[in-house]
Amino acid sequence: MFHFKSIWTAGRAFCVMATVLCGCATTYKPAENIQTLQERVSQQVKIDLSVTCNDVKVHCFPIIDQRMAETNLGILPEEFEVLPIFLKVENAGQNPIKVDLPNSFITVGEKQNAYIDTDSAVERIGKNDTNAAMAFGVMFGVLGGAVGGVAGAGLGSAIDSSKVGSGTIEGHYHRQSFTPTFIYPNKSGAGLVFYHVSKEDLDSEKLTLILPIVDLNTNTISNAEITFKPGDFGRIKGDKQ
């Protein structure tokens, strides 16, 4: 009798946990495409962060707000020292351009914070926090793996760092990433980019994005610069009420 009761209790707990996970799956509704994400961030970011540089207009939407970051990316940026930014670049000039993301950076005073490519951002998140990796799984519908992880608690998180690089999660980030980097006249590019920014830097008075833009006909390079205050973009985890 005791054995049967123990099994029933464990099974009941398992069902409850599975129900909770299902609830989480319906709570997180990440943007399915770049256009939807752009609509969300543009509505959230009320400040006009745009600059025109040699007939190229750059719009910058830092994703610092906790709710927006969790809903669309499954993370709190400060926990991974990553700053996601949604960029839109419009080429109103006569020549094709290249948005030189690898050589872009965020400045904090005299310090430069490097650009992080999408694969490195995914790897950093999975390597540094397996709990976030589990949140990824629930967020993107990998419920089977999550439930399996609950059943076998000794396995730790349901989705470990090795699975954060799976097609489901990595694919989502790549679909949201900035494209194209080569932009023809009267065309535009848009999407997510990532930068390494520490927790301390997120508390700074201001950050400046430096984005090199190459004119492919003349090979001249112009730097679009956009300065913003992190505190203007919503609360981040740890802020005081």
Q: Mapped to the 3 state alphabet, what secondary structure does 84-105 carry?
A: EEEEEEEECCCCCEEECHHHCE
Of the candidates 193, 217, 190, 221, the one whose C-alpha atom is nearest the C-alpha of residue 58 is 190
pLDDT tens per residue across span 37-46: 888 888 877 7
Our count of domains for the chain comes to 1
| Residue 175 within any structural domain of the chain | yes
Question: How many C-alpha atoms does 114 have within 13 Å on its Cβ side?
Answer: 6
| Residue 29 within any structural domain of the chain | yes
Instruction: Domain of residue 56: give its range.
Output: 2-233
Q: Give the pLDDT band (50/70/90) at residue 174.
A: confident
| Residue 238 within any structural domain of the chain | no
Question: How many C-alpha atoms does 112 have within 13 Å on its Cβ side?
Answer: 8
Average pLDDT of 56-82? Answer: 87
User: What pLDDT does residue 209 have?
Assistant: 97
Average pLDDT of 182-195? Answer: 97
| Residue 239 within any structural domain of the chain | no
User: What pLDDT does residue 132 have?
Assistant: 52
What is the pTM (predicted TM-score) of this model?
A: 0.73
pLDDT over 70, % of the chain:
67
pLDDT over 90, % of the chain:
39
* Residue 7 vs residue 208, higher pLDDT: 208
| Residue 134 within any structural domain of the chain | yes
| Residue 240 within any structural domain of the chain | no
User: What pLDDT does residue 102 have?
Assistant: 97
Q: What's the CATH code of the domain at 20?
A: 2.60.40.1230
Q: What pairs with residue 115 in β-bridges? A: 195
| Residue 11 within any structural domain of the chain | yes
Q: Is the pLDDT of residue 91 over 80?
A: yes
User: What pLDDT does residue 26 have?
Assistant: 39
| Residue 33 within any structural domain of the chain | yes
Average pLDDT, the chain: 75
User: What pLDDT does residue 225 have?
Assistant: 97
Interatomic CA distance for residues 2 and 45, integer angstroms: 57
Of the candidates 227, 224, 228, the one whose C-alpha atom is nearest the C-alpha of residue 93 is 224
Average pLDDT of 196-216? Answer: 93
Which tokens belong to 82?
């990553």
